[in-house]
Amino acid sequence: MHRLFVAIRPPADIRAGLIALMNGINGARWQDDDQLHITLRFIGEVDRHQANDVADALANIRFSPFRTALSGVGCFDRKGHVNALWAGMEPRAPLARLHRKVDRACIAAGLPPDDRSYLPHITLARFGRTAGPMDAFIALHAGLASAPFTVDEFALYESHLSQNGSTYHLIERYRADRNDPE
């Protein structure tokens, strides 16, 4: 089985700026440089045949290059427990459009639609039950912003889970098409 996701890899200077922020919260499992990405669609476990179908369907996506930038920080919680800290992205609209195209391609490859609300972000840290307070971190970095950067490709990745966290392996890159019909 293959555990897949589709994502955008931010440029090195954006990643370096995020790495520089990563401290000050007890119990945080900070992401490594190799783990920093903007998820377009988490696919999950699929067999080799379906992984190939997904890769082929993604190759049919047409999109024009667009610009986005870091914008603020926030957190996700599940059942009242914070489980992730993230950096937001603005503008959201071009990322949401590409997310919808990726979702349609995954549906064409036989996967169910992604029924979760899409919020473009880069995960900075994950938390277990013993995470320290993060209000000070969020207040300090609420105004996080970066220079805009160009998104001209996305990629299909395979995720391997271990006791030391996830490692990601690039499967295929998909370049922007300046003749996008939208």
Catalytic residue positions, numbered = 37, 121
Identify the helix (H) or strand (E) that includes residue 87.
Answer: strand 81-90
- Report long-range pairs for 32-35 (Cβ below 8 Å, ≥24 apart): 32/165, 34/167, 34/168, 35/123, 35/165, 35/166, 35/168
What the block records as the tokens of 169 is: 């392996």
What the block records as the tokens of 144 is: 């996080």
Residue burial 1-18, b: 16+ Cβ < 10 Å; e: rest: ebbbbbbbbbeeebbebb
Radius of gyration, alpha carbons of the chain: 17
- For residue 24, give the nearest of 71, 73, 70 by alpha carbon: 73
Phi, psi for 111 (deg, rounded to 5): -90, 155
How far apart are alpha carbons 32 and 43 in whole angstroms? 21
What the block records as the tokens of 125 is: 């840290």
